[in-house]
Amino acid sequence: MTTLYTVLLYLIQPLIWLRLWLRGRKAPEYRKRWAERYGYCTGKVEPDGIVLHSVSVGETLAAIPLVQALRHRYPTLPITVTTMTPTGSERAQSAFGKDVHHVYLPYDLPGAISRFLNTVNPRLMIIMETELWPNIIRILHQRQIPLMIANARLSERSAKGYRKLGGFVRHLLQRITLITAQTAEDGDRFLALGLKRSQLAVTGSLKFDISVTPELAARAITLRRQWAPRRPVWIATSTHEGEEAIVLDAHRRLLQTFPDLLLILVPRHPERFSDACDLTHKRNFSFILRSSGEIPSGSTQVVIGDTMGELMLLYGIADLAFVGGSLVERGGHNPLEPAANAIPVLIGPHTWNFKDICGKLQKAQGLITVKDVVSLEKEVANLLLDEDYRLYYGRHAVEVLHQNQGALQCLLQLLKSHLPPRAY
């Protein structure tokens, strides 16, 4: 099975190159650094440390507290963070700067993976969430390099797909050193696929282990005073195609009741920033780009968040937040980032990527579900009109965050046996 998989992966490489080139029309970064995708990273990484892989933005954000804790505990241990997308790459570099090394993870081809491992030669590899790459797993096992799948989640839908592969997946899982699952249900699904109980730990979700630092809170206060000292502000983040139109329609309706309302609109992917600008312009809104450095005037109705690494800051100046990828069928994005800022969280019905987290927030009355432009307008208006109601939902959201923290400390404890003694 591994041989067939590898042959097929080699055969589709021209299609992958074509896809990268076509995506590069809107996002030029896709046309750069192709050598890294085949394991050529000499001079860009440092050996004998940790490799942490986070495929894209969401996983990179979840990894931030872990990387920061590892840097604090093991200051001399090199850390290489790998991603697969330019957006994830930009987020990793803005979050970690020169504290860590960064390259793309090579495609799962034996030659590329071997070249990469020959250069980085890690003590340990950590893969965030659930990325099961057969050749990476096989070669790490052959080289006796421990592999941990951290913050793992496995939906029933994905588990059903893996079950069709039978013994191949069971053999793959049994080569992994440890899987730390977000929930007991995730863990049970891995066990049903053939993982041994000794290879499993249920730690909770690392996504809860985020916080607003005093420095970030101070920056948010300053920015709010500059942008909207006496104006209500709402933010719509991680939006996908189709959602910006809904958000802008709701904003148009809301302006009739709240004429000085400011919307911060943040598309999920950088290549869609220009689409959001075009749509906002066509709808005749007065808008500015965050990247321009301008301060919104009294007539500015929309700020388009077209910068990277500022989402937590922008949440910090808003009165409430809508989290995208949820009014269209993308599975939703992380509702805990606005929750960390103690503001109400609105989200659409499509939240399977964060089913457990959204369930906890909903149960505690820290999350409001909307389904279309009418319900979005109604719920935003209710929150803006009633300060007590708004504070109630914001308080409950941040309480859920605090009550479910602890995965990070549990994970660090599990990593100890694979790392050198902690530097005090």
Residue 336 and residue 401 in contact, taking contact as beta carbons nearer than 8 Å: yes
Q: Write out the DSSP string of 263-275.
A: EEEEESSGGGHHH
**Rounded to an integer, what distance in angstroms lies between the CA atom of residue 205 and that of residue 131?**
16
**Rounded to an integer, what distance in angstroms lies between the CA atom of residue 280 and that of residue 244?**
9
**Rounded to an integer, what distance in angstroms lies between the CA atom of residue 257 and that of residue 231?**
13
Pairing mode, strands 287-289 and 368-369: unpaired
Residue 6 and residue 168 in contact, taking contact as beta carbons nearer than 8 Å: no
Please choose, from the candidates 294, 253, 296, 251, the residue with its C-alpha nearest in 3D space to the C-alpha of residue 276.
251
Active site annotation includes 215: no
**Rounded to an integer, what distance in angstroms lies between the CA atom of residue 200 and that of residue 220?**
40
Residues sharing a CB contact under 8 Å with residue 377, sequence separation 6 or more, in sequence order? 250, 253, 254
**Rounded to an integer, what distance in angstroms lies between the CA atom of residue 118 and that of residue 406?**
35
Token pair listed for 49: 């440390």
At which residue do the structure tokens 């409001």 appear? 368
Residue 315 and residue 338 in contact, taking contact as beta carbons nearer than 8 Å: yes
CB 299: neighbour CB atoms within 10 A?
7
| 3-class secondary-structure state, position 128 | strand
Catalytic residue among 36, 59, 337, 379: 59
Interaxial angle between packed helices 57-73 and 407-415, expressed in degrees from 0 to 180 and rounded to the nearest 10: 60
The 3-class SS string of 71-93 reads HHHCCCCCEEEEECCHHHHHHHH
At which residue do the structure tokens 């330019």 appear? 86
Give the residue numbers annotated as catalytic, written as ranges. 59
